[in-house]
Amino acid sequence: MGSFIAGFKSAATQRINAMRNAPGLPRWQRNYYEHIIRNEDEWNEIRAYIAGNPLRWELDENHPNRKAEKKTDAKNAVGNPVDPSLQSPRVANT
pLDDT of residue 8: 92
Instruction: In whole angstroms, give the CA distance from residue 4 to residue 10.
Output: 10
pLDDT tens for 35-73 read 899 999 999 999 999 999 888 888 888 888 876 676 555
Whole-model pTM?
A: 0.44
pLDDT of residue 94: 43
The contacts of residue 44 (CB under 8 Å, 6+ apart) are none
Instruction: In whole angstroms, give the CA distance from residue 23 to residue 25.
Output: 6
Instruction: In whole angstroms, give the CA distance from residue 20 to residue 46.
Output: 32
Please state the domain extents for the chain.
1-30, 39-94
pLDDT band at 19 (very low <50, low <70, confident <90, very high): very high
Instruction: Give yes or no for a contact between 89 and 39, defined as CB atoms under 8 angstroms apart.
Output: no
Instruction: In whole angstroms, give the CA distance from residue 35 to residue 93.
Output: 9
